[in-house]
């Protein structure tokens, strides 16, 4: 009996001809564009999501692929950037683009685009202004008086900040916002006043269009001019999106006043709509908003030293040469609170794996009141503290040690905001599994928090002795690293040679 032919989930596109042929497919095509020189091939964590959607839709109008940027001419402008980039094509035309492996955002976009294929919505073609073709004089190399110091350039990361009508109409507020931008080392690379109409508001806040507050939002955002700023920081712009969102504070002014009283929204906001300022929530949103407000925007350059440029030019390094050192996985701790663990355990575990996290340790732990108070000592004066303690001690929690590169930051982004998740990030895990005012999933916010929480939760763990035998001694460092990732604390280690007569007592 012949073997059934294996169905390929993602086609591999390795040249221009294959790219052109794939774009000719009917319906929606989703392409994970990646760089060979990064060392990491396409976003493996997304495969589970794609498989689930493929089965759910069971439609020939949904196709997935991966594409090597350096071997496809159409992706020339995407080379030199290691951030994952997902291209969505319909009828051979670009209809959406998402930067970064953000599974909830990618899933939401696929569902939106699939409605077009089924005739439930209209297709809108876009242009990726963030990586639009530039003149030959501006491509690749920056000019230099000394040929030996030639450098290659990449576009800096830029985010969008918007001063809303209530701030623009008040010179004192406007001046204070500009002062805070300067004090935090941000550089303004674009600055324009604009007057929005209802269509503009719908394009800026597409997730609000079908909500009850949309009319009020339109009324406010069209009540006067707004001031749109392009912001970057330092040599590359790295971290500017997160920094600006930290400066403006939580979405709701009342929450901002309680948690970040020095933030812009705490000082000048009056409601969730009239909250003074806006900040791009991701690199994908920043690119979209820059293209919307500044169609001809020229990104400032981030300079790459000649030594790195030479290595990037040759994607296959010499034998034994490590061009880009492998980033080591980071470990974080997350706690699935008792009710969510009882109702949604399997789905949460599945989504964690689909997002590319390794579950290095998994334990059911019934926390004591003392442990909860130690974990949330910084929240003891909050009104909801007693309810938090009651929920956390109501049954067993599912405690997980998760491992991944940049795990702490990535996991917190994946979960969504700790408060108002349903309004601010309806596709996030916290929004989807929420059943009370206390969010369903806790996540450590720093390496220090990870260590502190581990010691509180697992303080009664037993001690054990482990031996790495001779046949595995060459892999000793990897084994030790894996033990640490799994939450084990190594209190002492030593190399010993055993004889036939030596034994442990």
Residues 420-438 as b/e (b if ≥16 CB within 10 A, e otherwise) read bbebbbebbbbbbbbeeeb
* C-beta of residue 399 within 8 angstroms of C-beta of residue 335: yes
Give the separation between CA 308 and CA 299, rounded to whole angstroms: 21
Structure tokens at 271: 């409601």
Catalytic residue among 87, 114, 278, 442: 278
* C-beta of residue 129 within 8 angstroms of C-beta of residue 287: yes
Looking at the DSSP assignment, which residues form a beta bridge with residue 190? Answer: 230
Give the separation between CA 253 and CA 271, rounded to whole angstroms: 6
Give the separation between CA 392 and CA 459, rounded to whole angstroms: 17
**DSSP codes of every residue in 197-250:** -HHHHHHH-GGGTTSTTHHHHHHHHTSS-EEEEEEE-TTT-TTHHHHHHHHH--
Structure tokens at 78: 């995407």
Token pair 């700790």 is found at 418
Calculate ∠ Cα 9-11-13, nearest 5°.
Answer: 160
Q: Is 278 a catalytic residue?
A: yes
Structure tokens at 505: 């007592």
- First-to-last C-alpha distance (Å) of the chain: 59
Helix (H, G, I), strand (E, B) or coil at 47: helix
Give the separation between CA 200 and CA 73, rounded to whole angstroms: 34
* C-beta of residue 297 within 8 angstroms of C-beta of residue 231: no
Token pair 């990535």 is found at 410
Structure tokens at 320: 């034994």
Looking at the DSSP assignment, which residues form a beta bridge with residue 159? Answer: 231
CB atoms within 10 A of CB 450: 21
CB atoms within 10 A of CB 493: 9
- Within 13 Å, how many C-alpha atoms sit on residue 118's CB side? 11
Give the separation between CA 229 and CA 177, rounded to whole angstroms: 11
**CB neighbours of 474 closer than 8 A, spacing ≥ 6?**
none
Q: Which residues are catalytic?
A: 278
């Amino acid at each position: 009996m012949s073997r059934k032919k294996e169905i390929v989930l993602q086609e591999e596109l390795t040249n221009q001809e294959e790219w052109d042929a794939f774009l000719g497919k009917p319906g929606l095509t989703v392409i994970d564009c990646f760089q060979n020189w990064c060392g990491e091939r396409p976003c493996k964590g997304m495969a589970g999501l794609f498989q689930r959607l493929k089965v759910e839709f069971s439609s020939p109008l949904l196709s997935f692929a991966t594409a090597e940027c350096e071997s496809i001419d159409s992706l020339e402008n995407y080379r030199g950037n290691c951030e994952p980039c997902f291209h969505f094509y319909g009828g051979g035309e670009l209809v959406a683009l998402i930067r970064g492996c953000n599974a909830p955002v990618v899933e939401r976009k696929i569902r939106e685009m699939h409605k077009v294929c089924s005739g439930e919505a209209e297709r809108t073609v876009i242009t990726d202004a963030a990586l639009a073709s530039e003149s030959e004089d501006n491509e690749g190399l920056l000019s230099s008086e000394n040929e030996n110091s030639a450098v290659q350039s990449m576009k800096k990361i830029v985010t969008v900040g918007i001063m809303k009508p209530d701030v623009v109409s008040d010179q004192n507020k406007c001046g204070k916002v500009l002062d805070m931008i300067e004090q935090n080392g941000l550089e303004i690379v674009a600055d324009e006043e604009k007057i929005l109409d209802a269509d503009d508001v719908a394009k800026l806040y597409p997730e609000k269009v079908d909500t009850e507050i949309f009319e009020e939002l339109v009324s406010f955002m069209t009540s006067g001019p707004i001031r749109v700023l392009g912001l970057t920081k330092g040599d590359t712009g790295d971290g500017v999106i997160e920094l600006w969102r930290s400066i403006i504070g939580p979405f709701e002014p009342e929450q901002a006043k309680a948690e970040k009283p020095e933030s812009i929204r705490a000082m000048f906001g009056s409601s969730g709509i009239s909250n003074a300022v806006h900040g791009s929530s991701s690199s994908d949103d920043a690119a979209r908003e820059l293209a919307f407000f500044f169609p001809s925007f020229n990104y400032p350059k981030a300079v790459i030293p000649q030594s790195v440029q030479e290595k990037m030019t040759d994607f296959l390094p010499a034998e034994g040469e490590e061009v880009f050192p492998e980033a080591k996985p980071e470990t974080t701790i997350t706690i699935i609170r008792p009710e969510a663990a009882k109702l949604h355990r399997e789905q949460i575990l599945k989504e964690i794996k689909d997002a590319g996290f390794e579950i290095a340790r998994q334990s059911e732990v019934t926390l004591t009141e003392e442990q909860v108070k130690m974990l949330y000592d910084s929240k003891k004066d909050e009104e909801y503290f007693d309810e938090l303690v009651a929920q956390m001690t109501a049954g067993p929690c599912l405690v997980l040690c998760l491992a991944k590169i940049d795990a702490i930051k990535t996991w917190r982004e994946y979960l969504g905001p700790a408060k108002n998740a349903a309004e601010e990030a309806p596709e996030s895990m916290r929004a989807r599994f929420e059943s009370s005012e206390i969010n369903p999933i806790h996540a450590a916010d720093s390496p220090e928090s990870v260590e502190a929480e581990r010691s509180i939760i697992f303080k009664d763990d037993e001690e054990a002795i482990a031996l790495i035998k001779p046949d595995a001694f060459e892999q000793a460092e990897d084994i030790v690293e894996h033990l640490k990732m799994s939450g084990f604390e190594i209190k002492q280690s030593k190399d010993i040679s055993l004889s036939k007569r030596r034994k442990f007592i």
